[in-house]
Chains A and B, each alone.
Chain A
Amino acid sequence: MKFFPSAVMCLALLLGGSPGCSEAEREFTEDGRVIVNYWEHWQGFEKEAMQAVVDDFNASQDRIFVKMLAVSQIDQKFVLATAGGRPPDVAGLWERQIAPYAEKGALTPLTPYLEEAGITGEEYIPAIWRMLQYRGIVWALPSTPASIGLHWNKRMFREAGLDPEKPPTSMAELEAMNEVLTVVELRRGGETVRARYSELTDAEKQAKDFEIIEMGFTPNEPGWWTGYNGFWFGAKLWDGEGNLTATSPENIAAVEWYAGFYEKYGIDNMRKFGASFTGNFASPQNPFLDERIAMVLQGVWMYNFIDQFAPQLEWAATAFPVEDPAVRPNTTLVNTDILVIPKGAKNPDEAFEFIRFVNEQRNIEKLCMGQRKFSPMREYSDEFIDLHPHPYIQTFIDLANSPNARVLPKVPVAEEYNIEMVNAYSKAAGGLATPEEALRYAGERAQWKLDRSNRRWEQTGEMRMREWRQGDP
């Protein structure tokens, strides 16, 4: 029985790990460089573009070596690794995660690093710089940003008798064009015929007894920003302090607009048409790419998929229509991928050195060019625009720089809020509630969660702010 204690010790070590592991040794390469572990959510060509910048960094260094790892479902793994005390040194996340993760103490404040390096917000597109901050502290630097806008199919415009060079700028124009561009199949005098919606008789429009074959625009494709449709109507989602403004008149107008498509073209017709998209965005079956939808709200990345799956498409991109273009021209939603240093990273200084390298103009332009997006910086080199493969890159740059560029609400319950808002839109569209009722319910539920989060902040906020300001989380 002499082996018993040692056997138990071995087993305990095996099963429980050793608590001291969180202070694990820093790793070094064979030539003595510190290894900075970097987790990134990109795959495919986007990852390759980043890898090229990582290779440049490694080639420029004799002290640091960055090891990049593509990680799927990075948000969940990031949380678990950080909670377990073994995070990577750098992580590539999305900007919507700044508020919840910073609030929960999962990130290292970058403000002291930025001050030391002399990096200021002046260098960045204002909307992007705004979203990197939370509670007055900068938590991340951008990698590749995006703005969203209207993409339209010129061939479908032409065939419908519309001017292919004139996309809609207001919601009224969008609706009028939609009627002309939408093709339905219906029974007329015992025969199945196809007709444009605008050619239907009033009785046929009323009966809605048709099948949608093509549509000008449908708000459920891709449906990624449903909760933010209020932006096209000038809505705000929160008041910048502690109150969510789900039931503002602008948000109600947006839900009415959204539900109006279902009301007009028939709930089941819209659902059936939606089911035909099969949910496979990155494929030739994408309804915009296979020319069943003439207009779609999409981001700067859409060009990649057009290029890959439908190079023959005659298309262009511009700002998405708003209720009144004279008041709010060039409205868009801007977001960005970000680089952060998790709390508890073993090599935060080296991690920041890498993030800073990525944010140097030459390197960020290489990355953004590789991913076919625009750069988050205010200044561009001439070659960037000249050599950029995206034919409408300037449009998306202008949108991102527009005073009407909107960002996601910076509240720690943004994810829950968005889910409640999406539910409100879907309820109103399905005729299960009026827009006001649906939004009131969504707003109350999200506010309840925000209040709960704020109560916790009231207890711990002062202490957290002190920690963050000292730069020693």
Chain B
Amino acid sequence: MTRNERRKLGMGLLFISPWLIGFALFGIYPICMAVYYSFCDYDVLRSAVWVGPMNYTDMMSDDVFWKAIYNTLFYALFSVPLGLMLALVIAVLLNRPIAGRSFFRTFFYIPSIVPLVAVAMVWMWLFNGDLGLMNYGLSLIGIEGPQWLADASWTKPTLILSSVWQVGGAMVLFLAGLQDVPKSLYESADLDGANPLGQFWHISVPMVSPVIYFNLIIGIIGSIQEFVKPFVMLPGGGENRSALLFAVYIYENAFLYGNMGYACAMAIVLFFIIMFLTWLATRAMGRHVYYAGE
């Protein structure tokens, strides 16, 4: 490295130093401390005491931990594919030359910019077992709606239903992907006599597969970390902790019970769960993703 190059490197590092220092202080340092505290008995107020893997072994025998894992995976298993499908379908519809297209695009995106706590409050009203619009709508077609938020067998479906409402973010990405698909492909398919469904399945889907892949990964991460809505809508996880999600259980341990060490250990487990699922999604989808540039 010449003197000039070294000088340039120094200047470069200096200019990005605010970010580097910030990342080290607020990113790397907390992560390292979380790993350390996960091996400690730590309640924030007292100094941490090293207890080895006790938090991890305790987790194995903690029923609520397993229940939270189950609830979270159940939630992700339904909310992610449902959200993806809905976002893709809306994007395809809004990609067509229909009247008021801009209005509908904005309209479908609006839920994604509403603050989550407000969304949760609105859903609590919609799903209210006595006064809610959901049950009122069902009553019009002769169905007596369930107690969405009070009945253990309905709490998870309620969360899943409320999550698919916010597909705006994924939809916008799909729209961008769809607009990149060359028109010539559809034209030649038209000449060959392909119907709209065939065109969707054999042209649109493969061409936006990188976006599907991206939205899938982001969807998995987002749903495994889901916190605000279950926290507000179903305090304590609802009846019999039937909708206690993992992130909420971590919060309870950290800030309600003061078991920060245990909460850190669970956060580390959450990290590995997300990593594993991302790896699994990559394995499963990787071969089916088509990049036009390749």
Contacts and interface: CB of A to CB of B under 8 A. Distances in A.
Interface of A: 1, 4, 8, 11-12, 15-16, 76, 79-80, 82-83, 100-101, 104-106, 268, 271-276, 278, 413, 415-416, 419, 422-423, 426-427, 430, 432, 445, 449, 452, 456, 459-460
Given A105-B45, A416-B257, A271 B236 contact: no
Contact of A76 (B17, B63, B255): B255
A100 B150 CA distance: 31
A268 B150 CA distance: 9
Contacts of A445: 63-64
A12 B20 CA distance: 12
B257 A275 contact: no
A422 to B, nearest CB: 8
Nearest to B148: A275
Contact of A423 (B44, B46, B58, B241): B241
A104 B240 contact: no
A143 to B, nearest CB: 23
B190 interface: no
B20 to A, nearest CB: 11
Contacts of A278: 128, 131
Interface residues of B, number: 34
Contacts, number: 81
Interface in B238-273: 239-241, 255-258
A15 B240 contact: no
A106 B240 CA distance: 33
A410 B241 CA distance: 26
Contacts of B14: 1, 4
B49 interface: yes
Contacts of A76: 255
B101 to A, nearest CB: 39
A82 B236 contact: no
A430 B152 contact: yes
Contacts of B43: 104
Given A15-B22, A100-B258, A271-B150, A426 B45 contact: no
Given A1-B10, A275-B150, A456 B128 contact: no
B187 interface: no
B180 interface: no
Contact of A16 (B25, B63, B151): B25
A387 B282 CA distance: 74
B162 interface: no
A1 B7 CA distance: 10
B18 interface: yes
Contact of B258 (A1, A104, A273): A104
B18 A11 contact: yes
B45 A106 contact: yes
A82 B128 contact: no
Nearest to B64: A445
Interface in B28-68: 41, 43-46, 49, 58, 63-64
Given A83-B44, A275-B129, A275-B149, 15 more contacts: A4-B14, A11-B18, A15-B22, A16-B25, A82-B45, A105-B45, A273-B130, A275-B128, A275-B132, A419-B236, A422-B236, A430-B152, A430-B240, A452-B58, A456-B41
6 contacts: A12-B21, A15-B25, A100-B258, A101-B45, A278-B131, A445-B64
Contacts of A83: 44-45
Contacts of B64: 445
Interface centre among A82, A83, A271, A449 (most CB of B within 10 A): A271
A427 B256 CA distance: 22
B45 A268 contact: no
B147 interface: yes
A151 B7 CA distance: 79
Nearest to A413: B257
Contacts of A101: 45
A104 B44 CA distance: 9
A432 B152 contact: yes
A450 B58 CA distance: 14
A419 B259 CA distance: 15
Contacts of A426: 239-240
B236 A104 contact: no
Contact of B147 (A272, A419, A423): A272
Contacts of B63: 445
A452 B49 CA distance: 13
Contacts of A15: 21-22, 25
Contacts of A456: 41, 49
A16 B24 CA distance: 12
B147 A275 contact: yes
B239 A430 contact: yes
A274 B150 contact: yes
Contacts of B131: 275-276, 278
